[in-house]
Structure 1
């Protein structure tokens, strides 16, 4: 059995343990199911990086432009939230958050998609600022 000391390291960064999707299925069955329903092309295991924080989980999704961070705790006071960061430069942003529920998950997925979509004006004129 692996013993993990959670909390903050000497630099103030939160400690975690990388986990498999099978671990997520056991520890967060709802979230693993929602992730599984998200893609019809890639398997859920191929979509995300899973970090066990002890009192919650951080699931990261990567696109060419962004890293989407899903923070979750389950139970009666469960919580689900998304933050994202631009991979090249720039600060991250807080987006949807709310109770640990399918409704919050669906809002998060829509926010993730909206970060990746571009306007037709920009497609036709890459210099156009949205």
Structure 2
């Protein structure tokens, strides 16, 4: 990422900043990190530990169940974290309100769907059951 930023620096002065695509990509990456950090915190795990568990093919719902935490609580923790993603970008009260409204609007659609997909373990559970019974 540092190399990309260095390569972009000469262009920043000529086009008044990164393109909308570049900016939204960075926002998506930031939000993904926020979701991961919030999940790790709620589940009482370190970030690397959670990544390792997810790499094994387990879902966040599986991990929540294993940790004795509720899926609904996990979902709420992730949605609460997403509501706060705009805080550090805001330059004033109006900007903060606009960003929170944007996150809330996305939360009702794309981001809420992402959170629900992250914690829905039904397909993975069915695959594991099919693999064990075969």
Same fold (TM over 0.5): no
Structure with the larger RCO, 1 or 2 (CA within 8 Å, 6+ apart) = 2
Larger Rg: 2
Structure 1 or 2: larger helix share?
A: 2
